[in-house]
Amino acid sequence: MKLMSQNTSGLEERLKRATKEARIWEQLQHSNVAEFFYTIPMPETLLDQIVVVSPWSDGCGTGNATASSFLLDPANIEATPMIIQGIIAGLEYMHDPTTKPAVFHGDLKGNNILIFGTREAPIPRITDFGLSKMEAPDSSAPSVVIGAAHWAAPELFGTGDSSTVISAQSDVWSLGATIFELVTGRPLFHDKQFIAVVCFYVLETRRHREQEVADYLMCLPDPVRQVVHRIFVEDIAVRPTATDVSIMWETLRTQVQIHEHSWRSLMTTVQAPHFLHNRVTNPDGGRVLSDGEWATWMTNQREQRG
């Protein structure tokens, strides 16, 4: 159950937003997309809210309902590649226009993925379609970054020549950022506040942006880094589709099973100081990022770029 925000102009506007979200959400029928039930307009005298109702998750009995919190539990680490594959499948379905209008999520991140199923076979389901848009007949969508700057595509900051509305391409970038988040336990640009991320995309040159992103990706095991590196392409014309990412990720899973045998062993291949940015190899954050070896290394990298 989701309460629509009160920071809009009156019940009528909130009802309009909730109706738009419901219209998009109710068209989606996939095992990796959370089911939509209905909306409830609450009386102004009671809550002055719109309630969007969908299935409730307890995170397979763990109480960690979102992918972000579920995968922070070391006991669930081996589920990481399976959960990411499910998220990719859900996004691939949303973008597919063959049975319905293509739907672009606009706010993909770990906290917008609910976990169902069992701990041995968790099922991720994409939820929260408040920023989504349909390719047709309604193509209206936000053209600014609302709040999840750490997951947002560069073009949404108005730094390129492409359209600045959410799209399949911007969703795929957010997918890459979500993979980074779920694998490391921290968002991309974890050490930057919201405004610093915005300034980074608006003020830095493209070359510097690409170099900085590549530095963050050193926190990933090599096979994962290769996949995410291919996703993080600023030119949307050559950025892979969700289907492309699905193929790459399935190949990665096969390679890990053959060569590493477990996800945990793969994570231990991340070298110092990059493992300090990783909740798996630095689970308690005991070596503080802000003044530790990783932060020093990143500061040196930035100084070299000028």
Q: In terms of pLDDT, which residue wins out, 92 or 50?
A: 92
In this structure, the answer to whether residues 211 and 91 fall within a common structural domain is: yes
Q: Does 66 map to a domain?
A: no
Could you tell me the two tokens for 269? Answer: 């291949």
Q: Tell me the whole-structure pTM to 2 decimals.
A: 0.85
C-alpha to C-alpha distances, 22 to 17, 221, 284, nearest whole angstrom: 9, 39, 40
pLDDT band, very low/low/confident/very high, at 233 (cuts 50, 70, 90): very high
Write down the pLDDT at residue 38.
Answer: 54
Q: Which residues pair with 40 in a beta bridge?
A: 51
Q: Does 62 map to a domain?
A: no
In this structure, the answer to whether residues 169 and 253 fall within a common structural domain is: yes
In this structure, the answer to whether residues 103 and 180 fall within a common structural domain is: yes
Q: Does 280 map to a domain?
A: yes
Q: In terms of pLDDT, which residue wins out, 44 or 272?
A: 272
Q: Does 30 map to a domain?
A: yes
Residue 43 CB contacts under 8 Å (≥ 6 apart), including other chains: none
pLDDT at 85 over 50: yes
Query: In terms of Cα–Cα distance, which of 171, 130, 154, 153 is closest to 34?
Result: 130
Write down the pLDDT at residue 4.
Answer: 45
Domain that holds residue 287: 81-107+146-305
pLDDT at 53 over 90: no
Mean pLDDT of 155-163: 64
Q: What is the pLDDT of residues 133-152, one digit of tens each?
A: 555 444 444 444 555 899 99
pLDDT band, very low/low/confident/very high, at 246 (cuts 50, 70, 90): very high
Check if the beta carbon of residue 298 is closer than 8 Å to that of residue 191.
Answer: yes
Residue matched to tokens 């594959």: 85
Check if the beta carbon of residue 174 is closer than 8 Å to that of residue 152.
Answer: yes
**CA-to-CA distance for 107 and 72, rounded, in angstroms?**
21
Tallying the residues shown for the chain, one arrives at 306
pLDDT band, very low/low/confident/very high, at 275 (cuts 50, 70, 90): confident
Specify the number of domains making up the chain: 2
Q: Region of 41 please: left (phi>0), alpha (psi -120 to 50) or beta.
A: beta
pLDDT at 282 over 60: yes
Q: Which residues pair with 39 in a beta bridge?
A: 52
In this structure, the answer to whether residues 249 and 101 fall within a common structural domain is: yes
Task: Decide which of 56, 73, 92 is a domain's last residue.
Answer: 56
In this structure, the answer to whether residues 40 and 158 fall within a common structural domain is: no
Q: Does 250 map to a domain?
A: yes
Q: What is the pLDDT of residues 194-225, one digit of tens each?
A: 999 999 999 999 999 999 999 999 999 999 99
pLDDT band, very low/low/confident/very high, at 44 (cuts 50, 70, 90): low
**CA-to-CA distance for 169 and 32, rounded, in angstroms?**
19
Mean pLDDT of 65-87: 93
pLDDT band, very low/low/confident/very high, at 188 (cuts 50, 70, 90): very high
Backbone phi, then psi, for 298, in 5-degree steps?
-65, -40
CATH number (domain holding residue 270): 1.10.510.10
Q: Does 112 map to a domain?
A: no
In this structure, the answer to whether residues 49 and 89 fall within a common structural domain is: no
pLDDT band, very low/low/confident/very high, at 37 (cuts 50, 70, 90): low
Check if the beta carbon of residue 173 is closer than 8 Å to that of residue 239.
Answer: yes
pLDDT band, very low/low/confident/very high, at 17 (cuts 50, 70, 90): low
Q: Does 187 map to a domain?
A: yes
**CA-to-CA distance for 123 and 121, rounded, in angstroms?**
7
Check if the beta carbon of residue 294 is closer than 8 Å to that of residue 186.
Answer: no
SS3 content of the chain, % helix, strand, coil (to 5): 45, 10, 45
pLDDT at 161 over 50: no
163-167, 201-205, 227-231, 256-260: segment of lowest average pLDDT? 163-167
**CA-to-CA distance for 76 and 61, rounded, in angstroms?**
12
In this structure, the answer to whether residues 16 and 92 fall within a common structural domain is: no
In this structure, the answer to whether residues 208 and 275 fall within a common structural domain is: yes
**How many of the other CB atoms lie within 10 Å of CB of 248?**
18
Residues 215-238, buried b or exposed e (16+ Cβ, 10 A)?
A: ebbbbbbebbbebbeebbbbebee
Q: Does 74 map to a domain?
A: no
In this structure, the answer to whether residues 265 and 152 fall within a common structural domain is: yes
Mean pLDDT of 12-29: 69
Q: Which residues pair with 113 in a beta bridge?
A: 126
pLDDT at 5 over 50: no
pLDDT at 2 over 50: no
Mean pLDDT of 20-45: 71
In this structure, the answer to whether residues 158 and 49 fall within a common structural domain is: no
Write down the pLDDT at residue 166.
Answer: 83
In this structure, the answer to whether residues 158 and 13 fall within a common structural domain is: no
**CA-to-CA distance for 95 and 39, rounded, in angstroms?**
24
**CA-to-CA distance for 148 and 194, rounded, in angstroms?**
8
**CA-to-CA distance for 111 and 179, rounded, in angstroms?**
12
Percent of the chain topping pLDDT 70: 73
Could you tell me the two tokens for 39? Answer: 């909306």
In this structure, the answer to whether residues 5 and 86 fall within a common structural domain is: no
